[in-house]
Amino acid sequence: MSLTSFLRLPFLLSLLSLQIYYAFPLPPLPTRSTSILSNSANEIPSPIHRRSTPLPSSSNTSVPLLTLTLPSNQQYHLLNSLNHTKLSLFAQLKTGSSIPKENLQFTNSTLSSPQVEITSSYNSGNLLVTSSTPLTSFILSQNIHQRGSMSDSGIPVYNEKNVTRSTVETYCRRLICLESEDKEKVWKEVEGVVGRECLENLKSKHKLKKSLQHFGSTFKSHFPYYYGTCSKCGCKSEFLGFKVTEEGEEMKSSRREIYFCGECREFDFFERYNTLLPIIKSRRGRCGEYSMLTYTLLSLYHPTRWIIDWNDHVWIEVEIEDEWIHFDPCEGIVDDKDLYRKWGKVGKVVVAFWRKGVEDVTGEYFEGGEERRKGEEVEEAVVLGGDILREEFGDEE
Ligand SMILES: [Zn+2]
């Protein structure tokens, strides 16, 4: 196999899985030890101190790509021993520059315990994960909660029931974090962006649907969906990978997506923040960020639910005249529960989270969706989630 095709295939696969990953809100902050942070990790330029990147031409710098094979036999190439020079070479490689073959050093994953070792390398900032699949199924699952047991090889053995339960649990915890935000402050900050009148109308129940429509289109124009375009020239940047964010480097960002613009030869960064103020400041987000933000605003004055579609999307619902009204902040669309069906999506599990509990709302968005998820144990997960939220918020009226 030629070098080019060897490198391209996993990248194409990674782009496919990336589509799914992009949409999701962030799981809780991974727990990690700061004592193993290496100096080399700090060589990666921070988004605040962006600099143009003269790519290294030195022939003695290798790009150590670690080959990881998942149980599904999908192979991923992760950039190991991360530093600025290696990342630059990698960016060069991905934007089509030819690199002397001796600069590329491939290491096969012969780690005795891949999950533990790769997770530890990622957590210490030494690993760039080039695709979402190894990150979500391999690293974050180890960081956040054990999804199922481990086989002898250290590869996690998935258990559908545990996945559903732990996913519900993850979103409950996230909702609890959202509820602890200073909502008044969030409101003020957003007001500074979209204008006072736009938000003021949202306070009243009167003509709320109409106010929501106005807010939706205004919000969308001020908080555009982040598609990975270069912030300097607007060209589509090349996605390089995910990297853990060092403690204190950015306020409560769980990880950083690194992009490289082939035109400007500059790195660009998309921080996946867990808190709202940096999202408002950066005005960069996808459905995860914007659903959390609009949930927080609307829930200040009206019963509001956070709606998670397990596949790849997140939005909210606001109660208007005893009815849960759909609101998609990325699209600026109100009251169109057929929207996702019209997109051609096939729903399997859609769950609503709010202070009073958890509800399976699949049927409201996807006709027959309930029948497509044999073995997912959604009912049990919903009961478990309800217990978590009731324990936190009590039985509110
Ligand atoms: Zn550019």
Query: What spacing in Å lies between the alpha carbon of 232 and ligand 1's midpoint?
Result: 5
Q: How far is CA 143 from the centre of its chain?
A: 15
**Which of 220, 218, 202, 219 has the alpha carbon at shortest distance from 210?**
202
Tell how far the Cα of 266 is from the centroid of ligand 1, in angstroms. Answer: 7
Instruction: With beta carbons less than 8 A apart as the criterion, state whether 255 and 243 touch.
Output: yes
List, for residues 291-332, the tens digit of each pLDDT value.
999 999 999 999 999 999 988 899 999 999 999 999 999 999
Q: Ligand 1 center to residue 239 CA distance, Å?
A: 13
Question: In the chain, how many domains are there?
Answer: 2
* 197 and 123 within one domain: no
42 and 140 Cβ atoms separated by less than 8 Å? no
Residue 149 domain-assigned (yes or no): no
Q: Write the CATH number for 207.
A: 3.10.620.30
Same domain for 17 and 86:
yes
Q: How far apart are CA 60 and CA 8, in angstroms?
A: 23
CA 41/CA 87 separation, integer angstroms = 11
The full DSSP string for 354-391 is ETTEEEE-HHHHSTTGGGG-TT--HHHHHHHHHHHHHH
DSSP 3-state assignment of 268? Answer: strand
Distance 258 CA to ligand 1 centre (A): 13
E strand or H helix that includes residue 144 = helix 141-144
Longest dimension (CA), the chain: 69
pLDDT digits (tens, 9 = 90+) for 150-160: 433 444 444 44
Q: Considering the domain boundaries, does residue 315 fall inside one?
A: yes
Q: Does residue 345 share a domain with residue 221?
A: yes
Residue 361 and residue 218 in one domain: yes
pTM tops 0.85, yes or no: no
Separation CA 312–CA 297 (nearest Å)? 23
Higher pLDDT, 113 or 350: 350
Whether residue 176 is contained in a domain is answered as: no
Residue 46 has pLDDT above 60, yes or no: no
Assess if residue 239 is contained within a domain. Answer: no
Last residue of a domain, one of 114, 144, 174: 144
Range of the domain at 95: 3-144
Which tokens in the block code for residue 216?
């939706």
Domain-terminating residue out of 144, 169, 190: 144
In a domain, 350, yes or no: yes
Q: Are residues 191 and 88 in the same domain?
A: no
